[in-house]
Amino acid sequence: MATETQVFVAQASGKKAYRDIGIYVWQMIWLVFSIQVLIWFASLFLTPLLFQTETERQAIPFFRIMLSLIALFPITTALSAFYSGRGKVILVSTCTIIKSILSASLTYILIFGAFGIPSFGLIGAALGPLIAEVLHCITLFFLFLQKKYRSQFGTHLFLPNTPFMSKVLRIGFLSGVSSCIISFAWFFIVKIVSSQGAEYITVMAFGNVICTNLIFVNIGLGQSLTTVISAFMGAQKNIGKPIRSILILFASFLAIIAIPLLFFPRQIVKFYYTSNYHTFSPELIQALILSCRLLFVFQVVAILDRIMRCLLTASGDTVFMFWNFTITQTLFSCGIAYVAIPRIPMSMFWAIIVTTILIRDIPPLFRVAEKRWERQNLVLCQSRVKN
């Protein structure tokens, strides 16, 4: 949800309404704080339901510590959008790299103990990232409140603003709910896979690792596309050029990953499973090799999905996205997974995932092809002019 702040910042920057930028960032911060309160209360009731066995109860301290300051992560995202939405990514990237290094270092020290600091175990696994995120958030917040930004971008206008908050809720909240639906759907699929045995889990985990290693390109280019399109829409400019540019970058990325995934899948499997490759059954090895090729198809589909979501998000067409994700993700995607996973070989798991994404993307594809997002953006811009 907080990532949508980037859309508001970019559109305000595109139409040169610079003092609106600070107001949008503050509205997202207030919204995140209100959700944090709900999370605190919800955790009191959810903890006994989520952690029932003795093993699961050991994770309760970790769970409670993370939830206590979970709002820091979206607040940092909103503050980062103040820069990235205006195309100023060097500061954000530098702070993120430092935070990541600090988080990894603190987590290791607090889990295992070092430099005279005792071992905190699982609690240390929660404290490390939170301490790093606190410092990251404080740094961005003080930079956000600099005098030069207060006069130019209205970063001192911190009070809740009903018209601006309604726009944030209309676009950001529904987008956040859609992301939650996707997460719950994936959790449902993981539960199904976990009942199919260790080898099936290995195939899924292998694909997750590959996707995690590649997702930075998808997300990075996707956020860049959203920012540029939002700025162009805010300025009422043609968006054909940025879309063509990002398509070239995505095509280059696909050409690079096609070489290992399509032509050297066995070497990839050996690289990730060096120590226990010899213990795998021939069926599992073949399933992992086929998964490499299917994961390339998955990347192609995921990129098309990202481009369509960028267009719809930048134009504020989040109501359509919400209903599309709610219906297709819960009914079709989960339904297909529930029926197919127990009945097909593990080698075809990622074929199921690709199929569910393709089904989910059919309505957005027609929406984009009909250029409904252009009309949606026109209505959105007209409403902003009236306000």
Q: Is the pLDDT of residue 130 over 80?
A: yes
Mean pLDDT lowest among 179-188, 227-236, 302-311: 227-236
**Measured distance CA(250)–CA(300) in Å, rounded:** 9
The mean pLDDT value for 338-359 works out to 84
CB 293 within 8 A of CB 350: no
Please report, for residues 3, 22, 65, 167, 348, the alpha-carbon distance to residue 80 in angstroms, rounded to integers and kept in the order given.
Answer: 9, 12, 24, 19, 39
pTM here? 0.68
pLDDT value of position 297: 92
CB 38 within 8 A of CB 71: no
Q: Is the pLDDT of residue 25 over 70?
A: yes
Tell me what the pLDDT averaged over the chain comes to: 79
The mean pLDDT value for 335-361 works out to 83
pLDDT value of position 264: 93
CB 337 within 8 A of CB 356: yes
pLDDT value of position 2: 65
The mean pLDDT value for 269-285 works out to 86
pLDDT value of position 372: 58
pLDDT value of position 380: 46
**Measured distance CA(68)–CA(28) in Å, rounded:** 19
pLDDT value of position 255: 92
Give the model confidence (pLDDT) of 44-91 as tens digits.
777 666 666 666 567 677 777 777 777 788 888 888 888 877 777 778
The mean pLDDT value for 177-181 works out to 72
Please report, for residues 43, 66, 127, 192, 209, the alpha-carbon distance to residue 46 in angstroms, rounded to integers and kept in the order given.
Answer: 5, 14, 21, 22, 29
Q: Is the pLDDT of residue 131 over 50?
A: yes
DSSP characters over 19-69: HHHHHHHHHHHHHHHHHHHHHHHHHHHHHHHH--SHHHHTTHHHHHHHHHT
Q: Is the pLDDT of residue 385 over 50?
A: no
Residues above pLDDT 70, as percent of the chain = 85
The mean pLDDT value for 184-197 works out to 79
pLDDT value of position 289: 93
pLDDT top residue among 304 and 218: 304
Q: Is the pLDDT of residue 144 over 60?
A: yes
Highest mean pLDDT among 130-144, 176-190, 271-285: 130-144
Pick the closest to residue 11 from 191, 224, 228 (CA basis): 228
The mean pLDDT value for 293-314 works out to 84
Q: The tokens 């960028």 sit on which residue?
A: 310
Q: Is the pLDDT of residue 383 over 70?
A: no
Q: What is the CA radius of gyration of the chain?
A: 22
Mean pLDDT lowest among 199-203, 254-258, 274-278: 274-278
Range 196-203 contact pairs with CB under 8 angstroms and sequence separation of 24 or more: 196/341, 196/342, 196/346, 199/281, 199/283, 199/284, 199/287, 199/346, 200/341, 200/346, 200/349, 202/284, 202/288, 203/284, 203/287, 203/288, 203/291, 203/346, 203/347, 203/349, 203/350
CB 266 within 8 A of CB 289: yes
pLDDT value of position 1: 66
Pick the closest to residue 8 from 156, 164, 180, 157 (CA basis): 164
Highest mean pLDDT among 157-171, 261-275, 333-347, 354-368: 261-275
